[in-house]
Structure 1
Amino acid sequence: MAGKKGGGKKEHSPMMRQYLEVKERYPDYLLLFRVGDFYETFFDDACTISTAVNIVLTRRSNGSAADVPMAGFPHHASEGYIAKLVRKGFKVAVCDQVEDPALAKGIVRREITDIVTPGITYSDSILDDRQNNYLCAAALMKEGRQRVAGVAYIDVTTAEFRLATIPAESLADFVRSLHPSELLVAQSEKADAEAMLKGSAGILVTGLEDWMFGEEHAGEVLQRQFRTHSLKGFGIEGNRAGRVAAGVILQYLEETRQGRLQYITRIAEMQGGEYMTLDLQTKRNLEIISSMQDGSLNGSLLQVIDRTSNPLGGRLIRRWLQRPLLSAAPIRMRHDAVEELLLERRRRGAFGELLSSVGDLERSLARIATLRTVPREVLQFGRSLSTVPGLKSLASESSSELLRALGRRLRELGTLTDGVERAIDPECGASMRDGGYVREGYSPELDELRAISSTAKDRLMEIQQEERQRTGISSLKVQFNRVFGYYIEISRANLDRVPDFYEKKQTLVNAERYTIPALKEYEEKILHAEEKSLRLESELFGELCRMIAREASAVQENAAVIAELDCLRSYAVAAEEYGYCKPGIDEGRDLRITAGRHPVLERLLSPEDPFVSNDCLFDEQQRMLMITGPNMAGKSSYLRQAGLIVLLAQAGSFVPAESAEIGLVDRIFTRVGASDNLASGESTFLVEMNEAASILNNATGRSLILLDEIGRGTSTFDGMSIAWAMSEYIAGTIKARTLFATHYHELAELEERLPGVVNYNATVIETAQSVIFLRKIVRGSTDNSYGIEVARMAGMPPEVIDRARQIMAGLEKHDVAVPAAPAVRESMQINLFDAVESRLQKALQAIDVDRLTPIDALLELKKLQGYLDGRS
């Protein structure tokens, strides 16, 4: 908002009135107002920017009105400052001077020339070249009796544009999983959307006028963008809610002055049956694209697997790992392609050489089409496209069906690449201000203007020499600057030799500047030729950019193919370096992994402490593996390892194992670790139960469920009861392949009660001094968690460890009285039941412990807990 302005507009200067008029049209944006060589901000914007980017807040004298808060920065440094603001979630409107101040009659004309928001930016200073930057829209509406959400998202830098309709209750999970930089919603829904995403950092919620969410208007906007009479050709005709969201995105792009959008040539529906759905907790727990420790790439699956050569492949492999395939045929095609690239080292090397010379075609195309580019980028763009013939030849000669198909999709754009090579000087710089970037010979008219300018400059040197001889001043110089043009500079020591016909232009401390008729004549010729040359060069460059934009669809198709080739090669490089195997894929429900390894942990461990491999088997007899064992023995790693191997296999990669046969998994569910969501009022245990409930409500018989320590966030009796009941429900009703790691040794009883449940344990070796964790998962159960030993390893004081062992010994013998601590007087000896009346003793004596089943024991213990709490 504009903030407090200290009175009406009439009290302000003409320039400030101009500022306020622009600010009224863009109240929700930080307005950067060009004043000379600076971008200035005023009022509340100045206070905000001063704090956000740590620049000095000053005040501008405003005549009769109160002084105005002001903060600004040099225009040549604006990209860095704008990047800081956008990364902090602000929207920025850039208001530039659009006429020469020297020619302006009155106040300089200014207009909004660019708008930058978290979801709409083309700047390399803001973007991560290996990650998409999504702008998302959500439109809530009713379809029959169901309330649905139309969702659409676009990356304006790559032109990826997709839509879908999902249940309204799934919207929060969808947005969190996609994690767009900006979410567009109706203004009336903004407060609800912000509450829905509370705690999800980095997503700006932008409210738009409700009328923009009209179905008919959205359809017109889409048809206008794609220049069609209907949307049937895109397969989105029946997706009403999704079309509304997509139309909102295009309207927002128009509102934010994002013209020249012809490079956005396609839109597609998200196909739910094509990719595996991974919810946010599974992505987090398996650390697919970021570490749970600090949210960085370090320690993630992506860091290990991503061996891509260019940003196109880098962004695609991130999407592949988050969208594993659900059909066996395309998965096998990827595996076959990886196998060929693994075995054919020469072909893989040739691919790598070409792929590493490819720049970011998608983002370069977006900047070129919107005229945000520079000549050097266009030159690199042309060179990147020139690799297509070589890539096409390599792919077409392959024995892999997928590689050959990719080769057929590549289009050689010789006319375009030749045009770029002919037009752009290979020695061009990053700036266009001084010209010289269009290659000599490309335009006869431009060459002629440059010749005039060059000849005139030679004549200026002749004038300099003539005037030195005429005046006898050897230090006389003919020079140029943008304010005074061409002039003759003479030092003060030689002013007595200046001829009378010299016309003074400027006085300096140590010199005077003059002009003469001959200099004026050639100055006019030079400046006229240079001005016309710069204008023509800019026009030629603009036409080249428009020619490239007309080929946007073909360029985007090539970029998609190059990205896929890069990902397949990356898989092959990782497979060779890490010793991965080709997995088998079928439509069955068995899963056999021999000597499987955790792909990330094995890279982090030292050679002195290598990763211990483990088998994992699911078949008709083994559907749930109940895994008991101590902390630090590798149970959680074993669970994650199985999930990551399945994920890698269905993403098309080879896997870390001696062999693997994977029956297709429709979803991977995880409940691992403890976390809370206090921002939404959810405790650790409530978060655990929410995640567990989601698994039970969404898993199918084709799912893979990974459960670690269910029920640990509440009392022992409650937690064990929940874990037992969940196990029964999964084994008996869902029948999903499940790895269930637990400290509740009582759950081992389920092997005898439920078909498909089989006990495994993480093995240890006990010595007199310590416990050695072997990290090997073997058949059978265990009844010791070695928690005290882990506490000792963590560095807990020895007296605490000794006391814990005393208490544990007493409890294991079912002694009512626990030995007193040495520092406690005998009269104060701890007695676990000293507050319980004699009826508790009778109740204990009535229990036949030897004949109790685990579930009966739970019930009896629950009654005893009532005595302890004084409730019975």
Structure 2
Amino acid sequence: MLKLSVMQVPDDSKGACAFQMLQYVKLQVDPQIIVLPATAEAELLAAARAPAAAAAGAAVLGGDGSEGDAEVVVQLQRPSMFTYERALKMLAAVAQDDAGGGEGLLLVDKLTEMKLEGHLLIDGPSLSALDVFKEEEHPSAMGIGSSKEGASVYGLLQRCVTGMGKRLLRQWFLRPVVQPSVLADRHDTIQLLVEAPSTNDALRAAMKQVLDVPRLLAQMRLSQSRPRLAAFKQLANSINQLLQLQLMVATLAPAAAAHAAAGGAGEAGGADRVGQQPQPASGPWDELAITRRLLAAIGPQLTACGTLVGDVLDLSSPPADGCLVQPGVCKALDQLKATHAALPELLTQARGRQPAIVESQLQRVPAHVARRYSSQLWSMVYIPQVGFTMCVTGGRLAEELLELLPDYNLAFMGDEGPAAAAAAAGADLGGGLAGDGSCAYYYCECTQQLNSQYGDLQHKIQDLESSICTELIKRLLEFAPCLAAAAAAVAELDCLASFAAAARELGYVRPTLTTDDVLLIEGGRHPLTELLTDGRFIPNDTRLGLPAAAAVDGHADDQQPEAAGQCGPRMVLITGPNASGKSIYMKQVALLVYLAHVGSFVPAQRAVVGLRDRILTRLPCCSMEAVAQHASSFMTDLGQVSTILHRATSRSLVLLDEFGKGTLTSDGVGLLASVLQHYSAQAVPPMLLACTHFVELLGPEVLPPHPQLQLCTMQVLVAGRSSGDAGDAAAAAAAGVQSRQEEAAAALDEEHVFLYKLVQGKVAASYGLNCARMCGVDRAVLLRASDVLALQQAGQPVSRLALPELQQRDEQYWQLVQQLAALDVTDEAAVRQLLGAMMAVEAEAG
């Protein structure tokens, strides 16, 4: 029996977080064959071939219990093969290849979805529609620069101070979890940080100085050039900050710190001595998983790593001539540095009875000849990669001097700046100044002796230091697992501190997560929309799966399980005017449930969230998404609803926003009603929120009442143009005081105040004309639209638009009809007169 699992997830993670979802699936499914597109990168191929247990860090055992290295078989196919519609054909192709290419019979019963345990599933279009992520392209027309995060929920809550924290937080948003213990630990940590703002600020200030240590170490290892001292300084400073962070956490959790120290001492052989010491009292910080993880990751090994860097490299001052290594690390290097430092004295000062090197060369020139060239300055200089040369400032040597100095050969010409800097201590032929500012560099027997004796000292020093730094990096790579664990713990703490800072600033509260299949939100707010209302956002409540008067505390163990029939409605159908807040309400409910599963606090007064398995949405998609899918907007909506019908379970949250509006009203009403009745017929349907403008749906003959379905609307306050109320207007209409046009004008002048409050009930009017008036549509167009609407509701034919020009023309046509009826066709003059009148009317109308 063959089993096919199809996975299509966005995963742009790099580094240690790369291909985590693939490894998770391999551990859960244990596949024998993995089919990848032919365009897959080498890293993806390697991750797919790796055994699942090895990818998870465990030993791979063979069938006899011995360690094995069996890899997963990876097959490559065209990228066009990777669609859900071609899953059956792919399964047949895999089966045929496995059977050796024979024409075997393959019977497929059905395709089932592979569910990733422990994760809340939400697809990319839903994340985009809920504004969880919003990528903004760089405004440059040349395409220079990278995109950035726009106004999104992730951008609102992302306040991490480390790069690794930002990447981990994005992974949390892409992969919400449904593990109560993990979410409870995150909420406990955020609660403590919210209650102690100074502690949170201090921790964030310490973490801000911590760079991405594993990535920095990897860059140093892969660097093709000489290691930079700045990189080592950054590494050492990050390690010191990690140790400071460990001290801060140990102060907050003394019991956990003592336990971690006891564990380390036990490994070193001192467990008995440590165990006899009194243990500090346990506090709230001692119970947190992040505390134990930090204290375990940042320990003696990290201290040894920082000490190793400080003992080998001189990090206290900027390097002189590129020197990095501390004195005493390498004797040969110390000797080379001492020789290099003594070069100026060697070249310019006398040694015993022997004159200085430059002076010995000058003595080869007679004094009467030297006086004629007193403007030239002679100096012995050392230039890296060139060696020792005699620099003559003021131009080339004259032929007279070259005859006296036959061993002098011109090496190259240069300007005065570098030579003057290299020959700060020089000698001249007569004490004069430099001439034309050009420098001539010569080789001679003296420079050859120096080159053979000392060689290229600076590059010898740099090569030896580079080899020492390379060896140091190899030693540091032994601490890579320790550094990676410390960086991962800091990234997690950074994410939690970011959530705490956002919760304290934005007024978020801790949600109560429960295994009960309920959802209770009191005073819920939309995290993005509330920022645009200047504190005037209208909160709303949500009760799904709860009886009308139930009280929920979030503790499933303290409550008796209720029968499905005793629970409250699980589906809500929302009607209301345009722009009254229906879509915002649905999105805020989904976002609150989503944030609770990410581990964040939520924008509400109180929230009790039953764990969900997925969030499925049919929300309006942008036109670009429809174009990218080569389908119309309505076809895209149908595809989303089809996915909902196939994948929604009783633990899912479903959102349907104006489904069916892209086609005929009758078809849209039928589709939406059938979807609602489909879920109403289930014993425990998913939690569903739907909004619509189809008033035809509210009739009992179309959508019969059901205990699982509740009708709600967004409240609207309607005020008349004057003090008259609805009863006065009805009486006036019955008496014939106002005409239909006057009634339409009066309706347009009514003031509609959207209260943005969800209440039980239903609304038959969408107030679309009033919304058009608010958007500035011409009043004449609105009056005509109101007249047509009134005639349609009364079941009367729609009369033609009553314009003065049309009325005058109708009168002329009526007169011509009367003349034609009374015309004597035998009277030729009367016929010509009628034809002339008709042509005149036609010319006037034309």
Report if TM-score (shorter chain) is over 0.5. yes
The answer on 1:646 being equivalent to 2:593 is: yes
The corresponding residue for 1:616 is: 542
Q: Number of residue pairs matched?
A: 624
Q: How far did residue 454 of structure 1 move?
A: 1.8
Contact 2:392 2:440 in 1 (8 A): yes
Partner amino acid, structure 2, of 1:579: G
TM-score of the two chains, using structure 2 as the length reference: 0.66
1:324 is aligned to: 176
- CA distance in 2: counterparts of 1:760 and 1:479, whole angstroms: 91
Give the alignment's TM-score, normalised by structure 1. 0.64
Structure 2 portions without partners, runs of 5+: 77-113, 139-146, 254-283, 350-355, 364-369, 416-437, 547-566, 722-748, 811-846
Do residues 366 (structure 1) and 218 (structure 2) align?
yes
Q: Does 1:420 align with 2:309?
A: yes
Q: Distance in 2 between the 1:827 and 1:293 partners?
A: 58
Residues 324, 651 of structure 1: 8 Å contact kept: yes
Unaligned runs of 5+ in 1: 1-142, 172-183, 191-204, 247-269, 830-872
The residue that corresponds to 1:778 in the other structure is 759
Indicate yes or no: 2:660 matched with 1:711: yes
Alpha-carbon distance in 1 for matches of 2:70, 2:666 = 49
The 1:479–1:806 alpha-carbon spacing in structure 2 relative to 1, beyond 3 Å, is farther
Q: Note the C-alpha offset of 1:480.
A: 5.6
Asked if 1 retains the 8 angstrom alpha-carbon contact of 2:243 and 2:303, the reply is no
The residue number in structure 2 matching 1:758 is 710
- Deviation, 1:623, is 0.7
Q: By how many angstroms is 1:687 displaced?
A: 0.7
Secondary structure of residue in 2 paired with 1:490 = strand
Residues 316, 567 of structure 1: 8 Å contact kept: yes
2:4 to 126, 130, 146: 146
In structure 2, the CA distance between the partners of 1:663 and 1:772, relative to structure 1 (3 Å rule), is same
Please, what is the CA RMSD of the aligned residues? 4.1
Higher relative contact order (CA 8 A, sep 6+): 2
SS across alignment from 2:574? strand
State the one-letter code of the partner of 1:506: F
CA distance in 2, matches of 1:815, 1:498: 121
Give the secondary structure class of the aligned counterpart of 1:641: helix
Amino acid at match of 1:330: V
The equivalences for 1:145-544 within 5 A come to 146=4, 157-158=15-16, 160-162=18-20, 164=22, 189-190=37-38, 205-206=39-40, 218=49, 230=61, 244=74, 272-290=116-134, 296-371=148-223, 374-396=228-250, 397-398=252-253, 399-400=284-285, 401-402=287-288, 403-412=290-299, 413-426=302-315, 435-460=322-347, 466=359, 472-473=374-375, 475-479=377-381, 484-492=386-394, 495-496=397-398, 498=401, 500-501=404-405, 502-507=408-413, 510-525=438-453, 527-544=455-472
Matched, 1:635 2:587: no
Give how far 1:820 is off. 1.5
Alignment partner of 1:666 is 2:555:
no
Separation (CA, whole Å) in 2 of partners of 1:354 and 1:469: 63
CA 1:151 to 1:344, structure 2 compared with 1: closer, same or farther past 3 Å? closer
Deviation at 1:671? Answer: 1.3
Identity of aligned residues (%): 25
Query: 1:596 aligned to 2:549?
Result: no
**Superposed displacement of residue 486, structure 1:** 3.9
CA contact (8 A) 2:173 2:598 kept: yes
Instruction: Tell me by how many angstroms 1:304 deviates.
Output: 1.0
Distance in 1 of aligned mates of 2:68 and 2:157: 38
Give deviations 1:667-725, integer Å, cap 9, x for gaps: 11111113343344211111111111111111111111111111111111111111111
- Cα distance in 1 between the residues matched to 2:330 and 2:340: 16
Mapped partners of 1:504, 1:827: distance in 2: 109
CA offsets per residue over residues 435-477 of structure 1, 9 Å max, x none?
3233444433322211112212443455697489765446445
Moved more, 542-551 or 762-771: 762-771
Match of 1:656 among 573, 583, 603: 603
How far does the alpha carbon of each residue in 1:90-110 deviate from its partner, in whole angstroms, 9 at most, with x for none? xxxxxxxxxxxxxxxxxxxxx
Structure having the larger proportion of residues in strand: 1
Distance 1:456 1:405, change over 3 A: same
Return the index of the structure with the highest Cα Rg.
2
Match of 2:685 among 698, 722, 735: 735
The yes-or-no answer on 1:695 pairing with 2:582 is no
Give how far 1:231 is off. Answer: 8.6
Map of 1:840-859 to 2, 5 A cutoff? none
Are residues 467 and 793 of structure 1, via their aligned partners in 2, closer, same or farther at CA, if it must alter by over 3 Å? farther
The equivalent position to 2:796 in structure 1, one of 790, 811, 815, is 815
CA distance in 1, matches of 2:11, 2:798: 65
- Superimposed CA distance per residue, residues 100-144 of structure 1 (whole angstroms, 9 cap, x where no aligned partner): xxxxxxxxxxxxxxxxxxxxxxxxxxxxxxxxxxxxxxxxxxx71
2:504 pairs with 1:554: no
- Deviation track 1:505-526 (CA, whole Å, cap 9, x = no partner) reads 1246944322333333334555
Note the C-alpha offset of 1:737.
Answer: 0.9
Matches within 5 A, 1:23-34: none
Q: Distance in 1 between matches of 2:360 and 2:460?
A: 29
- 1:615 maps to a residue whose letter is D
SS in 2 for 1:753: coil
CA distance in 2, matches of 1:428, 1:277: 53
Bigger Cα displacement from structure 2, 759-768 vs 710-719: 759-768
- Per-residue CA distance 1:472-496 (angstroms, 9 max, x = gap): 4464455565664443343556744
User: Is the 1:325–1:651 contact (alpha carbons within 8 Å) kept by the matching residues of 2?
Assistant: yes
Shift of 1:551: 2.0
How far off its partner does 1:365 sit? Answer: 3.0
Q: Give the match's secondary structure for 2:390.
A: strand
Contact 2:575 2:712 in 1 (8 A): yes
Q: Which residue identity does 1:302 align to in structure 2?
A: Y
Contact 1:628 1:743 in 2 (8 A): yes
Structure 2: how far apart are the matches of 1:730 and 1:406? 45
Q: CA deviation at 1:411?
A: 3.2
Structure-2 change in CA distance of 1:151 and 1:535 (3 Å): farther
Match of 1:512, SS?
strand
Q: Which amino acid aligns with 2:761?
A: G
Contact 1:587 1:663 in 2 (8 A): yes
Give the counterpart letter for 1:387 in structure 2. Answer: Q
Work out the CA distance in 2 between the residues paired with 1:485 and 1:554.
Answer: 45
